[in-house]
């Protein structure tokens, strides 16, 4: 997709998801209020004002190729001519002994530590996406051990599906330097030094206890 004719709440939040930003980060990136971004999540059909349309145009034009590819996947209609499913992401909590795998995401104005994750396209298996995205981002091969559940992510509004994964092989390296600043194994007891405890899906903490 080379251009967006008219931005709506749905396409604006798809851009947010493609940029992997929280509501607060996306609002700051566009110079709009957090309430505005939350409104787009609540009303996908809403059409922002012309000045906001221009802000979204500029933000999209300044993105990287990888962000544009994700945005295209998120906004692509299904073969039946209807819009794609609600945005879902698969999140892999990869364990190797006493360590858990994290990636350091590049944001608009800050770096954030997260678990490897990928967008689940219509018809795709979250388990397969979790395994494939982990390898694509970090070089680590893993296998899904068990699903941990799902929730609407409180920061991004997307449906997040979590699963614990067992390390199989591979050295952890940053294979997506445009999106990530680093990839590390972190002792599970130190996880909350990288990700605030209140931001972690509770079953993850239970599984790592």
- Distance (Å, whole) CA 177 – CA 127: 24
Least Cα distance to 163 among 86, 90, 88 occurs for 90
User: Which pLDDT belongs to residue 132?
Assistant: 94
Query: What is the structure's pLDDT at 77?
Result: 63
Mean pLDDT of each 10-residue bin along the chain, 209 residues long: 80 89 88 84 81 92 89 72 62 96 81 90 88 94 92 78 95 90 95 91 90
Instruction: Look at the block and give the residue holding tokens 């360590």.
Output: 99
Written as one string, the DSSP assignment of 30-79 is: HT--HHHHHHHHH-TT----HHHHHHHHHHHHTS-HHHHHHHHHHHPPPT
Predicted model pTM: 0.61
Residue of 95, 80, 76 lying closest to 4 (CA atoms): 76
With respect to CATH, is domain 88-208 assigned 3.90.79.10? yes
pLDDT of 46 reads 82
């Amino acid at each position: 997709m080379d251009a967006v004719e008219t931005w709506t709440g749905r396409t604006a939040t798809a851009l947010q998801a493609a940029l992997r930003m929280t509501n607060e980060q996306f609002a700051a990136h566009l110079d709009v209020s957090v309430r505005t971004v939350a409104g787009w999540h609540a009303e996908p059909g809403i059409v922002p004002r012309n000045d906001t349309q221009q802000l979204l145009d500029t933000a999209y034009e300044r993105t990287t190729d990888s962000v544009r590819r994700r945005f295209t996947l998120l906004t692509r209609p299904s073969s039946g001519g209807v819009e794609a499913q609600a945005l879902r992401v698969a999140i892999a909590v990869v364990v190797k002994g006493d360590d858990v795998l994290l990636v350091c995401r590049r944001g608009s104005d800050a770096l954030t530590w997260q678990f490897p994750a990928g967008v689940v396209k219509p018809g795709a298996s979250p388990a397969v996406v979790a395994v494939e995205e982990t390898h694509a981002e970090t070089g680590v091969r893993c296998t899904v051990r068990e699903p941990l559940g799902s929730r609407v992510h409180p920061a991004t509004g997307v449906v997040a599906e979590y699963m614990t994964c067992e390390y199989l092989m591979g050295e952890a390296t940053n294979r997506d330097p445009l999106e990530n600043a680093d990839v590390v194994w972190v002792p599970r007891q130190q996880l909350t030094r990288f990700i605030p405890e209140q931001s972690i899906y509770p079953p993850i903490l239970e599984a790592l206890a």
